[in-house]
Amino acid sequence: MTIQELYKIFLACGEVTTDSRKIRGGELFFALKGENFDGNAYAVKALEAGAGYAVINRDSETAANAGALDTGLSSRLIPVQDTLRTLQELARWHRSMTFVDGKPITVIGLTGTNGKTTTKELMKAVLSVRYRVTATEGNLNNSIGVPLSLLKIDKDSEIAIIEMGASHPGDIKELVSVCLPNFGLITNVGKAHLLGFGSFEGVKKAKGELYDYLQRTADKAFINADSKDLCRMAEERPDLQLIPYGLQYQGAQILPADKEHPYLRIALKEEGLTVETHLAGSYNADNVMAALAVGRYFGISHEEAAAAISGYVPVNSRSQMMQKDSNTLIIDAYNANPSSMEAALENFRTTEAPHKTVMLGDMLELGDDSLPEHCKVLKKVMDMKIDRAYFVGEEFGKAAEECGLADRDLDGNTEIRFFRTSGDLAAYLSTHPVKENAILIKGSRGTRMEMAII
C-alpha cells in the first residue's frame, strides 16, 4: 500500500491511535513494537473494539495468521514493513498536504535541554491570540509523539508547534525530517542525557541538528542572543537566518519577587510594559522572552502577548508554586539535570523566606558525570542558608559517601537527610512534618518527587 492510499484511509478514519485500550470507534490503529511491548498482538482486539483499520508489521504473527480471520477483520489489517516508519511517513505526508490560504501550514520546531514544554505552552498561549494553533500535547516529543502530534493537525489549524526531545545523537535529525519545520527554536543547551550524548559537546551537536536543517532549507531560527552557546552554534552555521531575542539583548529586566509578587515578572523597558506570569523561578524568563519574540514575528503585540502569558497557569509539576497548609511549595519536579538544578537552586537562594527546605531527587542518565554532578549539587546546597535538605535516590547516596555526608544536623542549623525513594521521604514527612517553610521540590521524572507533597 502506498502512503497516498494509506492517507486516504487516515482521512476517512479521522484519527490515529497506538493504544488498543482507547478505541472509541473508527480510528486507524498503529501496532507499534518496542522492547517491552508489541502492539501487533492487540491489533485484532483493536478491530473488534471498533477501530476502522489496523496497521501491522508484515513479519508479525498477526499478519501470518490473518488468513484464519473472517474477511471482515482480515480486510482491515494493513501489513507494512515497519509500523513506526510508516506512522512517521504518514505524519510527514499529512504535514505536507495541509494548507493554509494556499500555502503549506506553518510549523515551528522546538527543542532544547530545559524549558521546552513551558516555552511551547507560552508560545501556544501567545499565538492563540490570533491563530488557530495545534501544539504537542503534554510531552509527546519523541519518535512516536512527534508524528502523533502532527496527525492532530486538522483543517482549522493555522500554525503547529511541535516539541522535539532527544536523548541520543540523530534524534533531532530524525524528528525534523518528519515535521519539516519552517521555523525553529532551541531553548538552551545544558548537561542532560549525557549517558546517550556522551558529553556536553554531544548535546550541542545533537540539538544543533535543528539548526542544520533550517540552514539547508533557508528557514529561520529564533535564537536567544544572550546565550553564548547558542550564538556560537549559530556562528558555526553562517547561512542560518536568525530572529534574535533575549533579556539583555532587549534591555528587559527581571523584577524582584516578594510576598505580594511571588511569581516571575519582567519589565520591558522599550515598551514600558510589565509582563506578569504565574511561573515560579527567574529561570523561566528566557522562556517568556522566546514566546514574546515568536508572537511579535507573527504580528502579535507585546501587550496582547503579555495578557496571554499572564493567563497561563503551569501544571504537571513544571515551575508551579502552590500553598499547602503553612508551606509555600515550588514544584519543578517533572525533570532535572545539572543545568536546570543549578538554575532552580540559584533562584531558591534568592527567594525571600524566613525558613527554607529543599527536597531534591536524583538527576538521571548522566553516565560517568553522575557522581561529580551530584557532588556539585550537594556542595551548592551546603553553601545555602536553609533549614533542611532532603535528598532522594541512589546517585545522591553515592555522592554523600564521596563527600563524607550522612544524616545529621550541619552546624546545628541545617538538617540533612538521605532517602532511597521518594516514598521513604513521604513516610518520614508524615511523622516529621515541615511547617511554615518555603520548599523547593525537584528531581528527574523517575524519582517521582511529587510523592513528597503530602
329 and 295 share one domain:
no
Q: What is the pTM of this model?
A: 0.90
pLDDT of 411 above 60: no
What is the predicted pLDDT for the residue at 391?
Answer: 97
CATH number at residue 330: 3.90.190.20
| Mean per-residue pLDDT, 280-288 | 94
Checking if the pLDDT of 415 tops 60, the result is yes
Cβ partners under 8 Å of residue 207, min gap 6 = 111, 112, 113, 166, 172, 186, 189, 233
Nearest CA to 435 out of 363, 378, 339, 354 is that of: 354
Q: Count of CB atoms within 10 A of residue 427's CB? A: 14
Residue 173 lies in a domain: yes
> How sure is the predictor about 50, in pLDDT bands with cuts at 50, 70 and 90?
very high
Specify if 334 maps to a domain. yes
CATH code for the domain of 201? 3.40.1190.10
Quick one: 145 and 259 in the same domain? yes
- Average pLDDT for residues 178-196, to the nearest whole number? 93
Amino acid at 108: I
Q: Given this model, what pLDDT does residue 405 score? A: 85
pLDDT tens per residue, range 314-354: 877 778 888 998 999 999 888 899 999 999 999 999 888 99
Residues 33 and 111 in one domain: no
- Please give the helix or strand (H or E) that residue 108 lies within, else none: strand 106-111
Whole domain around residue 336: which residue ranges? 320-452
Model confidence at 410: pLDDT above 70: no
- CA–CA separation, 43 vs 76, rounded Å? 10
Does residue 217 sit within a domain?
Answer: yes
Q: Based on the fold, state whether residues 334 and 441 are members of the same structural domain.
A: yes
Q: What is the DSSP string of 189-232?
A: --S--HHHH-SHHHHHHHHTHHHHHHHHHT-EEEEETT-HHHHH
Q: Does some domain include residue 89? A: no
